[in-house]
């Protein structure tokens, strides 16, 4: 079952940035990316987000170290 959709407008500059992020992140299109991002924002704002596991935190720390953000 497909959900009803509505249109929203964003500036051309923002759309270009969203398009690049969507492409870089492996999303099929901007709409899919924007829906994912907004869904995450709403879920986190409602307190329904899941905390990171210890393994996820460790993986993030290692990635930040590799990028030089942590020592």
pLDDT tens for each residue of the chain, 71 residues long: 678 989 999 999 999 999 999 999 999 999 999 999 998 888 777 655 567 778 878 888 888 887 777 77
Structural domain tally of the chain? 1
Q: Reduced to 3 states, what is the DSSP secondary structure of residue 26?
A: coil
Counted residue by residue, the chain has a size of 71
Residue 6 falls inside a structural domain: no
pLDDT in tens, 26-42: 999 999 999 999 988 88
What pTM was computed for the model? 0.58
Structure tokens at 58: 């460790």
Q: Which domain holds residue 58?
A: 12-66
- Beta strands of the chain (E only): which ranges? none
Residue 5 falls inside a structural domain: no
Residue 27 falls inside a structural domain: yes
Instruction: Write down the pLDDT at residue 32.
Output: 93
Non-local (6+) Cβ contacts of 31 within 8 A are none
Residue 7 falls inside a structural domain: no
Residue 56 falls inside a structural domain: yes
């Amino acid at each position: 079952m497909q959900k009803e959709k509505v249109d929203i407008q964003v500036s051309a500059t923002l759309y270009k940035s969203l398009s690049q992020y969507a492409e870089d992140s492996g999303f099929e299109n901007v709409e899919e990316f924007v829906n994912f991002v907004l869904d995450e924002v709403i879920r986190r704002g409602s307190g329904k987000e899941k905390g990171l596991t210890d393994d996820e935190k460790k993986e993030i720390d290692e990635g930040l170290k590799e990028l030089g953000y942590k020592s």
